[in-house]
Structure formats: structure tokens, C-alpha cells
Amino acid sequence: MNAIAPNVLAPNPLAPNHIINARLRGRSGLFSLHWNDGVIRAIAPQDGPIAVTAQHTDGLDAEGKLVIPPLVEPHIHLDATLTAGEPNWNLSGTLFEGIERWAERKARVTRDDTKSRAHRTIRMLAANGIQHVRTHVDVTEPGLGTLQAMLEVRDEARELVDLQIVAFPQEGIESFANGRALMREAVEMGADVVGGIPHFENTRDQGVSSLHFLMELAERHDRLVDVHCDETDDPHSRFLEVLAELTRVKDMGARVTASHTTAMGSYDNAYCFKLFRLLKQAGLSFVSCPTESIHLQGRFDSYPKRRGLTRVPELDRAGLNVCFAQDSIVDPWYPLGNGNILRILDAGLHICHMLGHEDLQRALDFVTDHGARAMALGEGYGIEVGRPANLVLLSAASDYELLRTQGHALASIRHGRLIMRRSLSEVSWAETSTQPSQACS
Ligand code: 17E
Ligand code: FE2
């Protein structure tokens, strides 16, 4: 193995200043990337593979594997992670029982409990090459102690991730006592994004007025918007059209995201045909959480059973920005999860009928560039000279191979510093009549 192969790093492994033999998405050949002071300074095409020499001891050898900008987690609930079963398990598997179980757990949260679970989860995300995270934080809590704790986590976790905090009214804006005041206060305290949950409000009218309220709040305070929107199989849940129309009128498409929109999987085609015209005019982003939605939705069906996801390929083909996210890790809504968004990508592509050749070749878009666009990261993201030296080395040379082999992030560089490296387990063989080299990896 090379002296500076990803898993056997150079003498100064925490401060590399270049990577050789990197493959970049969308470009052919191999590249050397150089950085200093945390900024990418050069992206140089190579004539061929470079042999490792002593002059490379401050670098990494990508060995022809992909180097990408960091993976992005655009939708998670860090205040609720690692609480499943405390005190009660969600036995029905529905969104609504999840909200009830969370209300029980919420009554017991403390600042230390919130912070330690959030930091543990952030480490799980960073261990999987994620450096940009948008977390929803429940603000239907008098006193907003959880939000305060998460604002502290946002600062404390900067070495590992950039964190955006959504003021998320889990139990409603209009149907929760002082819901509007709590939202205003959350924004004043420093939430980056304004959230909502119109399908959970008591009436259709309240759902609509909550959207007017939150869009105005975001506009007035220059915040982003990310609404839990139509997270139900009910085809009559049509708040997306209201959010999209407000987005269009205010010309806020680059700043607004509709999360879940699972009801769209139950809308009929005639309605969707009309809706898509508006969505394109509005230009908002979409987040789908495929493992979460296939678990929570379809719960009131017998057979045939709905998949309960939004129309991911159709949104993508229409030119709208759509990405995948984890949503939960071991919480009242979803009992599994380990921080690995590549697992979510794998599930999402299967559930959405997106294993066509073209989709496989660009699959990583859904957990990198598209997530970055939903989070409005702009020039803070991407492999370009002058941008932050935030880079992730993957275990395969292409999107397709990464998915087929269920590959991993092997190393993560943040502002030029190596913050994570991972070694993969190897398979050992007994003597067999075929040679290991003939076997498929
Ligand atoms: N809250 C909610 O309303 N929906 C979800 N999927 C989660 C929390 C995880
Ligand atoms: Fe969510």
C-alpha cells in the first residue's frame, strides 16, 4: 500500500495540503488538488496516475477514487435523535403517534440531555462525510430552552459541521398556545430558518394562515424557509400549492424548501399537472426523506399499500431542485439510522424507481449539490479554486460503483484539516478452486 494511501496517512496527517490521483465528478481524468489556509488554491489535471514520492508526504493519495464536496444533510431533527422508546415506543408507526411520543419525551428534556444527544449525532454525521446540516428544532415549548441549547451546539460543533437551525413548530403555530409568539421569539434568538407544519394545524384555514404568517416572518427577518408540508397520505392535504404561490409572489424560490410533501404521492395526475406549473414558477426546493416516509406513511392502507413518498423523479425531470435526507436517527418516528446518508440515497433510489442508468451515473447529486442548493450554501460549497477546502474522499471511482458496492466516505477534510478517516474491513479467503481476483468485489 502507498505510504500516503488514505488509510495510512502521512507524517503530518491532520494537516495535509494536497490530494493526488483524485477523480472529480463530471470531469474525466485524474486531478491534483492543492489548498492552504483552508482554501482551495489549485485544481490541476494530471497526465496520468502520479506515483507517490517523498514530496507527497503532506498529502493524500486518492488512488483514482472520487473526491467530492462534503455530503449534505438538509433535514434532520437533532433535538429528538437517540430518544426512541423513552419512555414509550411508537407502536402504530404513524407520524401522529410519533408526535405524541415525542411530547412525552419533550416534557423531560434538559439542556445537557439535548446537547449531548445532538453532539453525539453530529459525530455520527461527520463520520459519514457530512459537513452541512439543517436541523429542525421543536419550538412548541414554553421558554425555548431546547432552542437555546441547540444554538449553543451550532457554535460548539463548528469544527465538524455548519449547522442551520430551523424554528420548527412541531405542535402547530395556530393550534398551539402562543404559537406565533414562540416563532417570533425563536427567530429573534437566532434561528436561521423559519419552519411550519400546516397539515398538523387543526383546520385547513389554520394551515393556510400559518403559511402566510411564517412567510412574512421569514421575509421580514431575512431568513430561509423550510416547511414540513403535507406529510400525510391524505390527497386532500394541499398546502404545497399555498406555499408555492406565496413563494412565487414574494420571489423567494431560492430561499424556500418544502419538506416531505408525501401527499403528492397520493394526488391524482390531473391535479399534479396543474400543480407542477406553479411549482416551476415558484422555483422552490424539495426534500424527500425516503426511509422515514416509507416507514411512517401507508399506515392506513391495506393492499395495495402506498409507498408514501413525494414524486421525486417527476420533480427532478421538471427541473426542480430535489434532494434526500435522513430526518430521524433513533427517535419516536424512526427507530433506526446511523448517520450514513448514502444508505438513504440507496433506499431512495430504489423506492422512487430511480435505478435507471442515467440516474445511477448522477446519483450523488441528490445528497450533495441538490442538498447544498436547498440550504442556499452558494459559493460556500463546491470544488472550485477560492472556495473552502472542504473535501470528502469516497471509496469508489464513480457514483454507480459507490452505490453498487455500498461504499463509504473514507476521509473528510474541513477548512484544510483532516477531521475524519475511515478504514474499510477486508475480506480474507480460504484456498478455493477459483482465485479471489476472479471474484467480484
Ligand atoms: N416531526 C414531524 O412532524 N415529522 C417527522 N418526520 C419528524 C418529526 C421526524
Ligand atoms: Fe422532519
pLDDT at 434: 80
CA distance 105 to 122: 20
Residue percentage of the chain with pLDDT more than 70: 95
pTM of the model: 0.96
pLDDT over 60 at 288, yes or no: yes
Mean pLDDT, residues 81-107? 97
Higher pLDDT, 53 or 183: 183
245 as an active site residue: the answer is no
The domains of the chain, with CATH numbers, are: 4-68+382-424 (2.30.40.10), 71-378 (3.20.20.140)
Pick from 28, 67, 34, 66: nearest CA to 48: 28
- Residue of 77, 232, 296, 326 to mutate, ligand 1, most atoms within 8 A of C-beta: 77
CB of 258 closer than 8 Å to CB of 284: yes
Nearest partner of 275 among 323, 315, 319, 225, judged by Cα: 315
SS3 331: strand
Q: Give the model confidence (pLDDT) of 342-391 as tens digits.
A: 999 999 999 999 999 999 999 999 999 999 999 999 999 999 999 999 99
H or E stretch including 323? strand 321-324
- pLDDT category, 437, cuts 50, 70, 90? low
Protein residues with C-beta less than 5 angstroms from the ion ligand 2: 327
Ligand nearest to the CA of 135: 2
Atom of ligand 1 minimally distant from the CA of 260: 6
- Kindly report the length of the chain: 441
Neighbours of 423 (CB within 10 A): 10
Q: Identify how many contiguous H helices and E strands the chain contains and give both numbers.
A: 13, 16
Nearest alpha-carbon partner for 322 in 381, 357, 276: 276
Q: Cα(310) to centroid of ligand 2, in Å?
A: 14
Q: Which is the catalytic residue, given 141, 174, 201, 231?
A: 231
Pairing of the two strands 417-421 and 409-414: antiparallel
Beta carbons of 185 and 218 less than 8 angstroms apart: no
- The DSSP secondary-structure symbol of 54 reads G
Measured from the Cβ of residue 4, the count of other Cβ atoms closer than 10 Å reads: 23
**Cα(238)–Cα(228) distance, rounded to whole angstroms?**
12
Residue 175, exposed/middle/buried by CB under 10 A (0-12, 13-18, 19+)?
Answer: middle
* pLDDT score of 436: 63
Q: What is the pLDDT of residues 187-220, one digit of tens each?
A: 999 999 999 999 999 999 999 999 999 999 999 9
Q: Is the dihedral of CA 72, 77, 81, 85 positive or negative?
A: negative
141, 327, 330: residue to mutate for ligand 1 pocket, most atoms within 8 A of CB: 327
Residue 13: per-residue pLDDT: 56
Neighbours of 61 (CB within 10 A): 25
CB 239 near ligand 1, within 6 Å: no
Report DSSP letters for 55-119, one per residue: GGTTEEE-TT-BEESPEEEEEE-TTTTT-TTSS---SS--HHHHHHHHHHHHTT--HHHHHHHHH
CB of 292 within 6 A of ligand 1: the answer is: yes
d(CA 372, CA 382): 9
pLDDT tens string 166-192: 999 999 999 999 999 999 999 999 999
- Left if phi > 0, otherwise alpha if psi is -120 to 50, otherwise beta: which for 372? alpha
Cα distances from 190 to residues 102, 177, 211, 291, in angstroms, run: 24, 21, 20, 30
Mean pLDDT for 393-408 is 98
- The values of phi and psi at residue 227, to 5°, are -105, 130
**CA–CA gap between residue 391 and residue 43 (Å, rounded):** 12
How many CB atoms neighbour CB 436 within 10 A? 10
User: 38 CA distance to ligand 2 centroid (A)?
Assistant: 33
Let me know: does 375 contact 134? Beta carbons within 8 Å: yes
